[in-house]
Structure 1
Amino acid sequence: MRIITVEEHFDHPESVARVLELSGPGPITPDAGFGEFLGTFMPDRDSAERLAGTRLAHMDRAGIDVQVVSHGANSPGNLAHPEAVRLCRAVNDELARQISEHPTRFRGFATLPLHDPAAAADELKRCVGELGFVGALTHGAIDGVFLDDPRFEPVLAAAEAVTLPIYVHPGMPQRAVSTPYYAGSWPASVQFLFAGPAFGWHAEAGIHVLRLILSGALDRHPNLRLLSGHWGELVAGWLDRLDEVVGWVDYLDRAPSAYYREQVWVTPSGMFSQNQLNFIVAEVGADRIIHSEDFPYVVRDNVAEFLEQADLTESQRVAIAHGNAEKLLGMSGQ
């Protein structure tokens, strides 16, 4: 069975170094053990920086035919500085170069300089038209705001025009959120995990999608397509409640769940749970689920095996494994 995974990352070391230099202090105040913790939290450089080598060997072992790759942590797409335009272009060009060495095994999501929305829209069009990329991926808030902000209308319009999705990936909540919500009588490493991959950035990524719904962005852009990882970043399990409560005001053209089920696709991001799969199939349907591992931050040996052994019909299995990705990303027969 052909397997395509769509939340897979790489690092561009020169851009990461410049992002860290320009970004200033992060949202977590470090303590004595925080630096050492971050060193163990990050993936090995070969897996992160090269598409060939250990990554390709892992794909062969895990049964992955194609990874759709995007930039990982410390992305220049979130850099609030004019240099983001140059850095994003460098990231995209390097990703395209590495994909060209194994064109049947990898595709790309663009990194967009959202600090400059017009440049971001142009870069998305360039990445699709010249580099053959199949969408874009963003990381959390951009300079304190989300994609529903009116300044990002050119980006949403560009994504709609190329008929390819934006992957609304989590990013670390800013300090104004992280400190009151996630700091406490625990080490900085625990605050980082609580605010980040344990809970906080999933809640924020779900809020990001909900803001696009509530702002009317999906009405203004009815063909805009979104991808949401980690089984829908908490939102997919809350659709009935959203319909009921938002329905108390006559505000939207459709129920929140209608926007979600018609314009959002969900991926597992390596959270391979049959119970969660069952629930999401029931809530949004197998035709709205696309497989993902979250490599190299999450490394699973059972990427193909999870779907092969899952309690699914054969048509559902094929759709999640590759059919939905091929249709959404324009990859049929590739």
Structure 2
Amino acid sequence: MSSRRDFLRGAAASGVMFCGCGLLDAAHAQGSGRRTAVAVNGKTVKVIDTHAHCVFAETLPLVDNNRAILLPRVRGAEEALIEVQQRFAAMDKQKVDMEVLSVNPFWYRRPRDNAAQIVKVNNEKMAELCAAYPDRFAGFASLTLQDPQLAVQELEVAMKKQGLKGAAIGGSVADKEFSDPAFHPVWQKAEELGAVLFIHPQGTPELAKRFAGNGWLGNTIGNPLDTTIALSQLIFNGTLDRFPGLKILAAHGGGFLPSYADRSDHSCTVGPAGCDPNITLKKRPTEYLKQIWFDSLIFSPEAIRHLQAQVGASQIVLGSDYPYPWQMAPVDHIFACESLTDDQKLDVLGRTAAKLLNIAA
């Protein structure tokens, strides 16, 4: 297997270091140079946003040039096609030193071979972008999860050759929950490689009829619900017992689960008929939350306080969802949290993510 250096040397030789995502010459890799270091009580920190998105124009021909697949009609979507100086300016304004980029999975219901092509382009372009600007971007790989054996290979290449930090995945794949044994080889490989799996929801389209009407409920409720279901399935079906070293990062503060997690500890006591007598968990359901990481995209200091009480400040990392304007001042959001000590703020802003993702702090 060739090394990451061999891979990137080949990419540069073929000219792909200048891809359609708007990369400038790699010689300008240091970014805008206008950043002011963020400090808490005199201690500076490398601010790492673990929840930031991009798409690559090179995948357009693979989806019949349907831009709506890559760029849905929501604010900020066009900026997902990265033009680096524009992105650097936005990051500087947010006081963010580094973004950990991910592509929202849109290929799970596409034919396997087409999905594999999309994933290959995504991972190659992500690796090029992160190699060109290593002080500003890190990346999560894409995976063809409808073919778990292929996904295992993709994850290994992403981690060993392409320098990526793990993989961004949805909440389920083609109506299969991640607790399905078909996915065990993927989680085993992720555990072996130390890969972080960033669970980013894709909604719950089966509830579309109930979500109709005002409020964009398919996202407002549907996305956090998707994450809630995914995490609950991994907990209750014993997946996290089987793979105790699995590193999971849950978007949007883990959906609704941390807000009402204690109910999970009572469910099989109250309704044993709804539980599998062949599955005996090694600890209470709420205890598994303390081995999952959660981003800070939950909008208020009170929400952070409750998440902190439920999972511990050590499990929270910064997340903005950029370029989508859910939280345009993610650093200020953490500074406003009186429940966090100065040291905990430094951890949330970047130190925990640096350790989790093996990023130089």
Q: TM-score, normalised by structure 1?
A: 0.85
Instruction: Answer yes or no: is the 8 Å Cα contact 1:16–1:75 preserved in 2.
Output: no
Aligned to 1:166, the other structure's residue is in SS state: strand
> CA shift at 1:136, angstroms?
0.8
Q: Deviations over 1:119-155 (max 9, x none)?
A: 1111111111111111111123211112111111111
State the partner residue of 2:107: 76
Structure 1 residues 242 and 51, CA gap change in structure 2 (3 angstroms): farther
Tell me the equivalent position of 2:59.
15
In the TM superposition, residue 14 of structure 1 has moved relative to its aligned partner by 3.8
Over 3 Å counting, the alpha-carbon distance change for 1:162 and 1:237 in structure 2 is: same
Question: Which residue is 2:333 aligned to?
Answer: 306
Match for 2:351 among 310, 317, 323?
Answer: 323
1:169 paired residue number: 200
Is the partner of 2:302 in helix, strand or coil? helix
Q: Summarize deviations over 1:212-251 as a string: whole Å, max 9, x none.
A: 1111111111111211121220001122111122345573
1:67 to 64, 76, 99: 99
More RCO (CA 8 Å, sep 6+): 1
Distance 1:168 1:55 in 2: 23
2:286 and 2:83 mapped to 1: Cα distance?
37
User: Quick one: which of 89, 103, 112 aligns to 2:120?
Assistant: 89
- 1:242 aligned counterpart, secondary structure: helix
Q: What SS is found at the alignment partner of 1:67?
A: strand
- Structure 2 match to 1:216: 238
**CA deviations over 1:150-191 (Å, ceiling 9, x no partner):** 1111111111111122111110323x3323x323xx3xxx48
Distance 1:309 1:163, change over 3 A: same
Which residue does 1:195 correspond to in 2? Answer: 218
Are positions 1:112 and 2:112 aligned together? no
- Amino acid across the alignment from 1:287: S
Structure 1 window deviating more from structure 2 (216-225 vs 138-147): it is: 138-147
Query: Which of 281, 288, 295 does residue 252 from structure 1 map onto?
Result: 281
Structure 1 unaligned spans of 5+: 27-37
Q: String of CA shifts for 1:67-116, please: whole Å, max 9, x gaps.
A: 000113x5335534322112101101111111222111100001001111
Contact kept? 2:77, 2:324, Cα under 8 Å: no
Native 8 Å contact 2:301 2:336 kept in 1: no
The letter for the 2-side match of 1:154 is: P
Q: Distance in 2 between matches of 1:6 and 1:254?
A: 28
- Corresponding residue of 2:250: 228
Structure-2 separation of matches of 1:97 and 1:125? 17
Q: Is the 8 Å Cα contact of residues 138 and 164 (structure 2) preserved in structure 1?
A: yes
Aligned amino acid, residue 194 of structure 1:
L
In structure 1, what is the Cα distance between the partners aligned to 2:315 and 2:83?
Answer: 27
* Alpha-carbon distance change, 17 to 173 in structure 1, aligned in 2, over 3 angstroms: farther
Matched position secondary structure for 1:53: helix
Letter in 2 for 1:52: V
Distance between the aligned counterparts of 1:299 and 1:194, measured in 2? 15
Q: CA deviation at 1:300?
A: 4.0
CA distance in structure 2 between the aligned counterparts of 1:177 and 1:154, rounded to whole angstroms: 30
Between the aligned partners of 2:316 and 2:144, the Cα distance in structure 1 is 28
Check if 1:43 corresponds to 2:43.
no
Change in Cα spacing, 1:90 to 1:267, as seen in structure 2 (3 Å) is same
Q: Distance in 1 between matches of 2:64 and 2:76?
A: 17
Residue 178 (structure 1) aligns with: 208
RMSD (CA atoms) = 2.4
Q: Which has the larger radius of gyration?
A: 2
* TM-score where L is the length of structure 2: 0.79
| Aligned positions, number | 307
Opposite residue 207 of structure 2, the aligned amino acid is V
Which of 134, 137, 143 aligns to 2:165? It is 134
Q: Distance in 2 between matches of 1:294 and 1:208?
A: 19
Q: 2:49·2:99 contact (CA, 8 Å) conserved in 1? A: yes
How much has 1:206 moved relative to structure 2? Answer: 0.8
Counterpart in the other structure of 1:240: 262
Separation of aligned partners in 1, 2:77 and 2:354: 30
Take 1:204 and 1:242, find their aligned partners in 2: how far apart are those partners?
Answer: 16
- Note if 1:274 corresponds to 2:301: yes
Report SS of the residue matched to 1:246: helix
Counterpart residue identity of residue 217, structure 1: T
CA distance in 2, matches of 1:141, 1:12: 23
